[in-house]
Structure formats: structure tokens, C-alpha cells
Amino acid sequence: MGESVGLSDWTAIMSRQYMLQRVPASTSIHIDYAAELNEQQLAAVTAPPGPILVIAGAGSGKTRTLTYRVAYLLENGIDPRNILLLTFTNKAAREMLNRVANLLPVDASGLWGGTFHSVGNRILRRRGSALGYSSGFTIMDREDQKDLIDTVVASAGIDPKEIRFPKGDVLAEIFSFVINTEKPLEELLAEKFPYFLPLLDRIQDVQERYEKKKKATNSMDFDDLLQKTLLMFQQHERIAEVYRRQFQFILVDEYQDTNKIQADIVDLLASDHHNVMVVGDDAQSIYSWRGANFQNILEFPKRYPDAQVFKIEMNYRSVPEILEVANAAIAANVRQFRKHLSATRESKALKPALVALNDGAEQAQFVAQRILELRDENVDLNDIAVLYRAHYHAVELQLELSRRGIPYQITSGIRFFEQAHIKDVTSFVRFIANPRDEVAFNRMVKLLPGIGNRTAENLWQTWESRLAVAGIGDPGREKTPAPAGVSAPGYSERLLAMNVPAKSKKLWTQLAHTLDEIAPGGQPNPPSEMIASIVEAIYDDYAKVNFTNYELRREDLDQLAVFARQFKDVHEFLSQLALISNVDAEAAPGQTSDKEAVNLSTVHQAKGLEFHTVFVIWLTDGMFPSSRSLDTRDALEEERRLFYVAVTRARDELYLTYPQMRLSGGYGDVFQRPSRFLQEISNDLVEDWQVRRG
């Protein structure tokens, strides 16, 4: 735990400068740290100054440790103005400071607490003139940023409608990664956006123009709040010295989620005194895909050779049986600070369940039925979560919950069938099924370059008049039933006779021929085949330049095609989609805080949350861990950390499920291997559930 350090020792270690002592509060309250904290927390909170790494396991009271450390510094006479507390949300900083205020009767308003971005903003408002920015600079949101980049692209003489050039928000994402990972543009493209490598020179030119445009308009984007702060410190030593002297004690929350530039800012500010405490859990580092750098926490002791390392392993959340599985789940990772979570809660004599199911549909039935049983056992639906690796893993489950009337909410954002890329592709299918579907027609044609609302409206009027002449779907001609699709002449003949903008002609022709291909002779192909053709012929290229997470959306679309294989008829397929959407729409008003709903979430979105019961589904190799992660050890270890995060969300009950078969795009039923992560857990730690049909 280290020797106790007196007030004079703290100030001596802090700085050689003469310091004015803060006038103590009239009412002196001393916190009994030994009574308030467990032994491991106490050791970290009362550690002497210097670099400190706190490895805080899941559910171990990380926030409590940070809060009491701030209080301990204040009690030892450190001026609040000399403390910098960096968190990942401003809300987290406020909550910690409120807790400190409840512990000590001191005015800590001078303490700097907030996100890296908010602190960067504050510094740049005061000192940004050193970089040529006035204090009233505008901070652009992502929409503003996209608009400015689109303006720059146009001024660079690039016509995105003639070449498949990335849209503004995709470029914004690329530039953001370059800043936050501090990687050269070419390396970043090769790693994350290889399909844009042929455009490297043009993208580089746009990036340079964008930087100049921001300066000229006295504007910064969100990433500038970090990048310009670091740049200013590097270029202006006197400014850096002011803040190094001010921030004598730096505390960083969720350090495993910091990126390269954030770690550089902390290291620069702490370069004189090294009084930096970072708190985090390397086993929960799961955000490399958005720029977080695992090396920051792993190599902290290398960057600070005299660092003290504390491990907080007492878990207040889960029963011992779940923690035993969690410890086993992470054990195989080579690159980690090894720790062993131990429970403060008593055993429930209920082991986590390992459940093998026949296929995805049976998995969904099992989860839905068990949820209803738990509800009968008085477990609130809000306290039940189903976690998965990727959005599309929940497709069958959403359908099953909707059928059974079980309300659910998607913690990880929009529902699968309501996502833009899913609705885009199904608009083609809807149009084939009903050539009079104006909404589907408009959504479909607006995907093409040069076609906006006005043009789409004009095209629809032309199309509608041609349908009327042909009598297709006209209720007035019911004696001669309308064909399922457009009868000969085919789509290409009708559509190609229409006037479209010059920029749209090439893809308009492709659209017309694709519609003929997916409904030859007016008879629709099976829905799964239609979706695959639409994606390959038209939508894949569109998605690459329009979406920042193209690969994830492509996976969704592949899964949509797989899901559609169970329907031979296009109308049945669309009816099922409508059923899910309508049940969801009816449930939506009931998904307020006072109504119950099961939580469906990706594991990434569930980090930091906890539930009475957790189901982790689709635990098969290639699904969880994902197929993309199987190539490198680092990627596989991050997947294993993700599995560890999923397991440690559960307080009382945990169900690990895997289907033994799954539908595949073109291969029929495919046998699934159980996830390698399940095989790393000893059989005696789980209970094998044998599921039979009644």
C-alpha cells in the first residue's frame, strides 16, 4: 500500500515552486477510507504520488475508487485547480464530482473535470490564437462537417456523380481515424477502406483543402479539439508549460478506451511530475474498430517504468458461478494483466447454462420461452438482456418476440428491419411485388446519382401513367387480374423510354436490367435471390461510398438474403417484415421508462450495463468470434475480451446459446462449430441444457 505521506511530502513531490496553501474549510471532516473501501481500493486511493495504473475488474467499484482518490487528494491539501479529471462522458465527470462534494465540505469548483474533447475546447478557447483561431471559433457537428467537406470536394473539381467518390460523412470518418490513430492516410485506407486506395491522391488533396477551409472559416470539427490542443502544446512550449504546471495531478477514467492522441495529451501534460493515475480494465478493451489503442493501457508500465500497478478484483455484481466462467473466458488471452475476479455475493447454486439448439429459429424459440418463464418468476423484463456480436444475429429473435407479443427495445440503436440499408434493398423487392408502390419506387430511384425528390416525383408520374395505359394493378380492370409483376414489355423497355438526367443514365440502365433479372417475364424470383442480385448489381457500390461502416452493413444484407431463404413467395416475405414492423410500432409507445421491455443489444453497446439475466446468442465460430477476427491473434484476443464483457454483464443468470446449423446464402444448411470461447470453459463450470421439442 506504500508509506503514508504527509502534507509537506505531497507538496514537495508536486513541484519545487513556492506554493500558497489553500485555507482549510472551517468544518474539517476526515473520511474514514479504511471503513469506506475494501483493501484493494484503499491501496490505490491512498497511494503516494507518481504514476499509477489501476486495473479495475468488471463490477469492482472503479468509479468509487476514482471518486475517493479525488477526495483523498483534496484532503491532502491539493488545490482543486491543480487536478484534472478526464472521463468519457461529461455526465460521468459530474457524477464523480457530486460524490466528492457529498464526501467533503470543500469547494471543488476549480477542479477541471470532463471529457478529453471538453477540456480541449476549454484550452483552445483561451489559447487557440496561437494557432490562428479566434476564441469564438465554431465547433461543427458531423452534419456541418459533412456539408463543408462536400463543398470542398466540389471546389476540388471532383464530381462524385461521375466517379464513385466517398461522400462527405465517409470522408469525415476517414479523416477522424487519421487524427485519432495518428496513422498516415495511405496506411489507414489500406487497413479500413481498401476500396478507396485508388483515390488516395484525390482524398489527400481534399483533406488539405478541408484543413485550409476550416482555418479560413474559424471552424473546428470534433477531432480538432484533440488534435489542435496537442499540436499547440507541441509547437508552443510556453503554453504547454502553463498547463503542465497547472495540472499537477491527472486522473483518467476508462483508460483502456483511449486512442493514441488522447494518451499523447496525457503523457505530455504529465511529462514533468508523472502524477498520473489511469483507471481501466484491459480485459474490457473492445473498441479498436473506432480507434481505441489497446497499447495505451498495456504498455503504461513501459512508458512509466516507476509506475505502481494496483489490481481491484473484488466483484460486487455477479454471483460466484458467473465469475468463474468470466475468469475462464479471458484466461487464454496472452496480452493482458492477469487478474482473478472474486465474488462478494453468495452462491445461488445455479451454474450458467450452455444450450445447444438445432438452428437460429429454435434458438429464438428457446430464448423467447425462457424469457416468459423468467417473467413468471418475477424477473422484470427490463432486467433481461439478449446480447450478440452483430445486429443481424437478432433477426430471428426479433421475429419470434414479435410473434409472441413480448415487448423489446434495441439498446444498440435502430431495429434491424428499420435500418436504412435494409429498407433501401427491400424497396426494390416491394416495387417488384407491387409496381404501384410509390414509396418503394421513390426510395429506389433516389439511390441513383442525380435523382432527388423533384426528379423522383416526375419519374413516378411518368411511370404511373404508363401503368395506367397498361392497366397493371388497376382496380377498374379487376376482371383481368394484374400479373404479379410487370408483364412484357419488361422493366427495361418501359424504364429506358423515360427521361432521366444525363448523370443518372448509366445506372438507370443498370437498374432497369436488374429489375428484369430479378423478375424475368414479370415473375419475381425467390426473395433471397432477388436480394443477392440487387446488392451485387447496384447496392454494394452505393453502400461503399455512402456508409462509414460498409462492411457491417454488407454483413447485414447478406444475412437478410439468408433470412429470406425461408420464404419462397415475395408477398409472404414482405408480409413477415410488415408484421415485425407493425408489432414494433404498436409496442413503441409502451417502451417508455414505466413499461417493461427485454433489452436486445450488441455487446459493444451493453458495456457498462448490468442485468439480472443475460442470454449470449450465436456463440459459434465465425459468428462470435466473428469470421474477420480469426486471421490474427490481436483480433481474436479482442473478440475474447468482447465475450468477457458479455459474460460479466450478468448478475444472477447466464445462458450461452449456439445453433448447430444455420442457413447459408448459397449452400443450404451449414454445420456450425461451437465458439472456441465455449471450449475454453471447463465443463464443470456450466450446466449442459438438453433442449427437446414438445
Q: Which of 9, 22, 36, 63 is catalytic?
A: 63
d(CA 596, CA 587): 10
Sign of CA dihedral 63, 65, 71, 76: negative
From residue 92, give the alpha-carbon distance in Å to each of 82, 87, 138, 253, 645. Answer: 20, 6, 25, 9, 20
Peptide bond preceding 489: is omega within 30 degrees of 0, i.e. cis? yes
Contact 386, 600 (CB under 8 A): yes
Catalytic status, residue 284: yes
3-state DSSP assignment of residue 174: helix
Which of these is catalytic: 75, 169, 253, 652?
253
Annotate 291-324 with b (16+ C-beta within 10 A) or e (fewer).
bbbbebbeebeeebeebbebbbbbbebbbbbbbb
Residue 337: HSE in the Cβ half-sphere, 13 Å Cα cutoff:
27
CA dihedral 195, 201, 202, 203 (to 10 degrees): 60
Note if 576 is an active site residue. Answer: no
Cα separation of 191 and 287, whole Å?
16
Q: Which of 351, 415, 649, 662 is catalytic?
A: 649
Say whether 62 is catalytic: yes
State the Cα–Cα distance between residues 174 and 146, nearest whole angstrom.
Answer: 12
CB 636 within 8 A of CB 642: no
Cα Rg of the chain, angstroms: 29
Q: State the DSSP code for 519.
A: S
Dmax over Cα atoms in the chain, in whole Å?
99
Phi/psi of residue 568, each to 5°? -85, -30
DSSP calls for 351-362: PPEEEEESSHHH
What does the block give as the cell for 247?
A: 495540472
Nearest-angstrom CA–CA distance, 598 and 611:
10
Q: Which residue, 261, 179, 252, 170, is CA-closest to 220?
A: 179
Calpha distance 512→516 (Å, rounded): 6
Peptide bond into 481 cis (omega under 30): no
Question: What cell was used for 107?
Answer: 469547494
Identified catalytic residue from 62, 311, 607, 651:
62
Strand-pairing partners, residue 410, are 600
| Nearest by Cα to 603 from 472, 411, 462 | 411
Contact status, residue 364 vs residue 393, Cβ threshold 8 Å:
no
User: In one letter, which amino acid is 487?
Assistant: S
Sign of CA dihedral 149, 151, 155, 161: positive
Asked about 223 being catalytic, the answer comes back as no
**What is the grid cell recorded at 367?**
430464448
Q: Which of 173, 254, 282, 638 is labelled catalytic?
A: 254
Residue of 619, 554, 547 lying closest to 169 (CA atoms): 547
DSSP codes joined into one string, 577-613: HHHHHHHHHHHGGG-STTS--EEEEEHHHHTT--EEE
Q: Which of 11, 46, 256, 284 is catalytic?
A: 284
Angle at 368 between CA 367 and CA 369, to 5 degrees: 95
Which one-letter DSSP state was computed for residue 15?
A: -
Pairing of strands 52-56, 276-280: parallel
CA–CA gap between residue 207 and residue 203 (Å, rounded): 6
Phi–psi pair at 283, nearest 5 degrees: -70, -10
CA distance 486 to 569: 16
- Which residues are catalytically annotated? 62-63, 253-254, 284, 649
